[in-house]
Amino acid sequence: MTSAEHSKLVRLRDTNMTIAATDSDIRGHRVLDKDGNNLGKVDALLIDEQEEKVRFFEVATGGFLGIGKDKSFIPVDAITHIDDKDVHLNLLTDTVAGSPPYDPDLVEDSVFFYDTYGYYGFLPYWGMGYVYPPYPYYPGRH
């Protein structure tokens, strides 16, 4: 697949899918950088509807009572491990803070995702030789 051919990514909550193993749902988990610093919470999972795989997760940071929250999209490839309450990344806070800015109008734009993969230094999932990371679950149909 080329960047122009890859399937559209959508938020899991906007589909008729769920997490196959509900105890593996990381939405609401705290996200920790490589040094253990808190980056925020997992707000949403972006899935590839065609292949039924999580490709990115959305992290909400900052704000008070939901006002002024920033959002970052991080490829699942950055996850080193997940425990009961935390998602651990191989990234530093400064790297996530400098990521391509969230723009709701660009979330469905393949260039945004291509640029985001490039920024973090990961091969896009539609690239030749891409191997899906050892992510703990796949979505499933209701």
In the chain the domains, ranked by start, together with CATH numbers, are 9-120 (3.90.50.10)
Q: 9-11 and 38-48 as β-strands: parallel, antiparallel, unpaired?
A: antiparallel
pLDDT tens digit sequence for 16-74: 887 776 666 899 999 999 999 999 999 999 888 888 888 899 998 765 545 446 788 89
What's the whole-number mean pLDDT along residues 122-139?
76
Examine the pLDDT at 14 and tell me if it is beyond 70: yes
Largest separation between any pair of C-alpha atoms in the chain: 43
Going by C-alpha positions, the residue among 48, 74, 46, 79 that lies closest to residue 59 is: 74
Average pLDDT, the chain: 80
User: The whole model's pTM is what?
Assistant: 0.81
In which element (H, E) is residue 9 found?
strand 9-11
Q: How far apart are the C-alpha atoms of 125 and 2, rounded to whole Å?
A: 10
